[in-house]
Amino acid sequence: MSKSEFISEQHKENVEWSSKLDFYKDEIEILQKRLDEIAVKNNKKEVLTSIEYFQNQLIIHRNTIDEIQHGVNVSEDALVSEVKKNPVASDHRKTKYHQAEKEEIQILEKVFKELREEFNRFVSKWI
């Protein structure tokens, strides 16, 4: 049996996830600026190799965020469509829970935290 939840709760979760994803996008921009600062100040091969590694990681994370955001948008569009089809008592109806998006967000948060910690160790070494 699949898990379900109220449409209004799922909408609230979609909004929260979109905010988190926007936060991570902003943080990627901040990390990229820090990388640019380090690149200007250091031209050692070891530093440049690490900069390239982190740039690639940021690109991967940006793409992952975009993919997750797309999934959240699709979920939100389905909710809107469901409510438009039958707006009566929509706040009391349930829909299939979006477990895949929840798991993707959790994994993103874990992996991004690890990347941020690794990045901060790198920055502290070269600034």
Q: Which residue has the higher pLDDT, 96 or 20?
A: 20
Residue-range definition of the domain harbouring residue 106: 4-126
Q: Read off the pLDDT of each residue in 34-48 and give the average, rounded to a whole number.
A: 91
Record the pTM.
0.88
pLDDT greater than 90 at residue 1? no
Q: Read off the pLDDT of each residue in 9-31 and give the average, rounded to a whole number.
A: 96
Residue 69 contacts by C-beta under 8 Å, 6 or more apart in sequence?
Answer: 18, 21
Q: Read off the pLDDT of each residue in 48-77 and give the average, rounded to a whole number.
A: 96
Closest CA to 54 of 103, 125, 106, 102: 125
Q: Give the count of domains, the chain.
A: 1
Q: Which residue has the higher pLDDT, 7 or 29?
A: 29
Distance between terminal CA atoms of the chain? 54
pLDDT of 43 reads 85
Q: Return the minimum-mean-pLDDT range out of 38-42, 49-53, 55-59, 62-66.
A: 38-42
Instruction: Give residue 87's pLDDT band: very low, low, confident or very high (50, 70, 90).
Output: confident
Cα separation, 115 vs 110, whole angstroms: 9
pLDDT of 90 reads 75
pLDDT of 94 reads 83
pLDDT of 122 reads 95
Q: Read off the pLDDT of each residue in 89-100 and give the average, rounded to a whole number.
A: 81
